Amino acid sequence: LEGITSGVVKPFKRILMSEEFNEENALKWLNTATQDDNGSRVLVNLERVDIPNYVKGELSIVHNMTYLIICQKADETGLWLDLVEWLVLRGARKLLITVEEHSMSAYTQRRFNVLQDKYSSTYIKLTTTFKVKTRKDAAELLIEANEISPITAIILLFTDTNTVANLDWASRKDTTTNPQFLCILSEATSICEARRKDGLLALSLIWDKPFSK
């Protein structure tokens, strides 16, 4: 409290998005936030905006099923780790993560180690992204994830079209599960649209120049 009063500790700068929920306004506010070096956040007032049907509802967190997270490119922001922590805090207990381990900063590595120590009862396995370069690789990765427990969600960050397409193909081939397919800052818009047309769960989140200064 003393730190807040003296101004040493300051809250994140935040922007409340209360306008109509559409692509133009979402991109405007996200781009505004990314111009701030101090990491401002965009808050969406869900009570005052009209959310499209395909993004309504909540991501179902199932503690006894596997969350497969793929981060293809170097992620200096540690977004994948934020996502892992967010899932664990909400009850996810089985996670298989593919990330370029050598590209992690020392800070991200320390955060990951702390997370593992703090949630020692949670199964968190880290592997490398070479496993998703081909359809065969993607199918084998899904088999590995399903061996932990059935996959409930496939979450992709910073992935290219080829990687997304391989995982889309592999997930369609495996008819035993219908995992949620969430793509963040990935080249996946058309693939997600095709999945939704086929009655599969899919959502693509992307905006221009994320985390730019």
Q: 45-84 pLDDT, tens per residue?
A: 556 556 555 555 556 688 999 999 998 876 667 788 889 9
Sequence-ordered list of residues with C-beta below 8 angstroms from that of 25, at least 6 positions apart, any chain: 17, 19
pLDDT tens column, 150-203: 999 999 998 899 999 999 999 999 888 889 999 998 888 899 999 999 999 899
Cα distance between residue 93 and residue 46, in whole Å = 28
Its pTM stands at: 0.73
Rg of the Cα trace of the chain? 18
Instruction: Identify which has the larger pLDDT, 179 or 1.
Output: 179
- Integer CA distances (angstroms), 178 to 146, 181, 186, 193, in order: 12, 9, 20, 16
Q: Which backbone phi and psi does 2 adopt, to 5 degrees?
A: -65, -40
pLDDT at residue number 96: 95
**CA-closest candidate to residue 163, choices 185, 135, 190:** 135
Cα distance between residue 202 and residue 153, in whole Å = 10
pLDDT of residue 213 exceeding 50, the answer is no
Q: What is the mean pLDDT of residues 87-116?
A: 86
List the chain domain ranges: 1-44, 66-205
CA angle 186, 154, 46 (to 5 degrees): 75
Sequence-ordered list of residues with C-beta below 8 angstroms from that of 80, at least 6 positions apart, any chain: 69, 71, 97, 99, 157
Q: What is the mean pLDDT of residues 91-116?
A: 85
Confidence band for 105, pLDDT divided at 50, 70 and 90: confident
CATH of domain 66-205: 3.40.50.720
